[in-house]
Amino acid sequence: MSAKVGDEIILVNPSELMTIIKQVPKGKLTTIVEVCRKIAMNHDVEACCSLTTGIFIMTAANAAEEISKEGKSLDIPYWRTLKTDGYLNEKYPGGQEAHKKLLEGENFRVIARGKRYKVVDY
């Protein structure tokens, strides 16, 4: 169950977060901020903790990659969740390069912005 803090902010429930991420279809993207907004709206509070949201998404990404090494799938398209303004997440398994490869595999264009990568036109 998610916990309300001062009736204004909600701490993310990993199960709820996974449900939201699993709903992002191929060809679509979201950001950690957008996921937080959806969770906050679901609980009628002003905000959710984007730090814990990011941590749980990273944890799910690592779990998904671990399971894939065993030939199984958790069906969690974590790579469709970007950082703010369409930037790739360097903390996902394999870093930005692996994130870039997964996105390009779904026909997204990714460009370098200094040392970071960003999805074109996001």
Structure token digits, residue 21: 């991420």
Cβ neighbours of residue 110 under 8 Å, at least 6 residues apart?
Answer: 88, 100, 103, 104, 117, 118, 119, 120
Host H or E run for residue 113: strand 110-113
* Residues 45, 49, 52, 53, CA torsion sign: positive
Structure token digits, residue 65: 């990659």
Question: What pLDDT, on a 0 to 100 scale, did the predictor assign at position 19?
Answer: 94
Would the pTM of this model clear 0.95, i.e. be above it? Answer: no
- Domains in the chain with CATH codes: 3-119 (1.10.10.10)
If the chain, 122 residues long, is cut into consecutive pieces of 10 residues, what is the mean pLDDT of each piece? Answer: 56 89 97 94 89 93 95 96 95 97 98 97 90
